[in-house]
Amino acid sequence: MSTTKNVSQLFQKSLLPGNPSHFVENIKTVFTYEDGVFFKWLGNSFLYASLGAFIAIFIACLVGYAFRRYDFYGKKIIFIVILGFSMVPVYAIILPLFMLFKDLALINTRLAVLLPSFVNVFSVYLMISYWNQVPEEVFSAAQIDGANDILIFFKIGLPNVIPGFITLFLLHFVTTWNNFFLPLVVVNSRAKMPLILGITTITDSQGFPVYNLTLTASFFTILPLLILFISLQKYFKPQLYSTR
């Protein structure tokens, strides 16, 4: 309802929506703010979230397949290490990441936001659980037919874990889309900011926050996630609770 109000109406003690014309005007102002920088933020968010999620989950699929198909030395220890790293809060590694990216001259680049999202330990752990649900007989039958590991992975195994792939993609997409702290630390160019960070920089000519525009822009940080959840909920709900 705050998106239907102007600045003066925001601070009135009323829970009722404002004038619908204010909503349209707020949207127009957000879209045209600083020559349409809003769309750059939106594009950056889609780039960071979609590419980061896809690569992270694909890597998790490869690791899960290796754990499912092969017995190797230290397998249980590696699994415990993976489980342990999944409990490390992201804030604990921000400073080392910043120092590393500074040495690599990656500060204020899109790679500084993308690279940390390419590996997600929690997704690896869950993908191992998904692969463990695929019966061994499926792999054995494929081997008898002469299929190699690449063919088994892409033609036999991956289709069996597609629901899990989509579920983890959705979780990782949402996490990266809502990631505020990492871009805040490694990006200072407004043209490279994701939407969730960029909207906090919306100010008037005197440098003061324009709250009605910030709230209107915030609406568009929620809308893509809502559409994504509705589109993929048939995969999300059953698969999230079926891991064991």
Q: Determine what percent of the chain is predicted with pLDDT higher than 90.
A: 36
Q: Which has the closest alpha carbon to 194: 124, 100, 89, 117?
A: 117
The pLDDT tens digits for 40-58 are 999 999 999 999 999 999 9
Instruction: Please tell me the distance from the alpha carbon of residue 191 to that of residue 199, in angstroms, as a whole number.
Output: 12
**Of all helices (H) and strands (E), which one includes residue 68?**
helix 37-69
pLDDT of residue 25: 82
User: Degrees (nearest 5) of the Cα angle 209, 212, 213?
Assistant: 75
Show Cβ contacts of residue 33 under 8 Å, excluding neighbours closer than 6 positions. Answer: 202, 213
What parts of the chain have a pLDDT lower than 50?
240-241, 243-244
pLDDT of residue 234: 73
Would you give the distance in Å from CA 70 to the centre of its chain? Answer: 30
Q: Which CATH superfamily is domain 20-242 in?
A: MetI-like (1.10.3720.10)
CB 114 within 8 A of CB 50: no
Q: What amino acid is encoded at 166 in this protein?
A: I
CB 164 within 8 A of CB 243: yes
Backbone torsions φ then ψ of 203, nearest 5 degrees:
-135, 165
Report residue 49 as tokens.
């979230």
Instruction: Please tell me the distance from the alpha carbon of residue 174 to that of residue 50, in angstroms, as a whole number.
Output: 9
pLDDT of residue 236: 61
pLDDT of residue 244: 47
